[in-house]
Amino acid sequence: MPLVAFTAVGIYSFVFVAENLEGFDDNTVFAGLVGATTSQVIRSVTLSSLGPKRNFRHETDQFYTDWFYTTGNPTLDSYLPDGTAYSYRVRWSSSSNAINDRVPAVPARLTATNTLADGTRTITCRIMLDGTYAASITKGHIGLRVSYIDTSGVRRSEMIYDELAKLLGTGTAIAADSGSTWTLNSYTGHVARKIEFTSAYAIKQNTDIEVALELLRPAPSADQFLFVNPDLGVV
């Protein structure tokens, strides 16, 4: 892996860019360059490949997010330029030292363009959850922060989550997504879920809709993987 670039971002973060990037596909423990619960100086590390498969990994002391074409992620309808189906894999910590209702985590930021006419739009973020825990993962565990431009040119920001469930950890489970057919690959125990949001204001045509996926509580019961489809649905 020839090192192309190395950047120190402030005191606490490091960025590595290389021609190729393999490995870091550990599926059993929450471990890596940055620990989730240990006291360390380094708070985030980003590894990014310049190769056609665009492998990357971003680690913080709350979570890690990555994509490696060798790890067998479940995939839906997002594709790289070379036609490879892909998704983001998020390792979600069950430790309240890493994530709690006062310190959420943002493991994925997604963007879509409203190519439709001016109007209110329903945005759908599709994810895969571990089937063992899916029933106990509520709208207070995972939420969306959505930003868009309305037809008056004003930027709007809305948060989609269940406040009570965020505080208590119990509530309405995230909705099943029976209309989506994921290719499960090596994660046969995962199930499809979706978070939908209808904008309060009309969204201007040909402007970007920005969505931050937020982990608002620790993962219930155990550290676990969730998968995010990078392409948002806009109708």
Collect all residues with Cβ–Cβ distance below 8 Å to 39 and sequence separation of at least 6: none
Collect all residues with Cβ–Cβ distance below 8 Å to 104 and sequence separation of at least 6: 143, 214, 215, 216
Pairing of strands 44-49, 13-18: parallel
Q: Which residue has the tokens 């943002």?
A: 106
Instruction: Tally the C-alpha atoms within 13 A of residue 215's C-alpha that lie toward its C-beta.
Output: 30
Per-residue pLDDT, 57: 86
Phi and psi angles of residue 150, each rounded to the nearest 5 degrees, phi first:
-85, 180
What is the SS3 assignment for 129? strand
Q: What residues does each domain of the chain span? A: 3-234
Given strand 208-215, what is the order of strands in its sheet? 105-113, 208-215, 142-149, 155-160
Per-residue pLDDT, 24: 47
Q: Tell me: the pLDDT tens digits for 85-98?
A: 999 999 998 888 88
- What pLDDT tens digit does each residue of the chain (235 aa) get? 444 444 444 445 556 555 555 544 444 444 455 554 444 455 677 878 777 788 888 888 788 899 988 889 999 999 999 999 999 999 998 888 888 777 789 999 999 999 999 999 999 999 999 999 999 999 899 999 999 999 999 999 999 988 777 777 678 899 999 889 999 998 999 999 999 999 999 999 999 999 999 999 999 988 999 999 999 999 9
Collect all residues with Cβ–Cβ distance below 8 Å to 73 and sequence separation of at least 6: 67, 86, 87, 89, 185, 187, 227
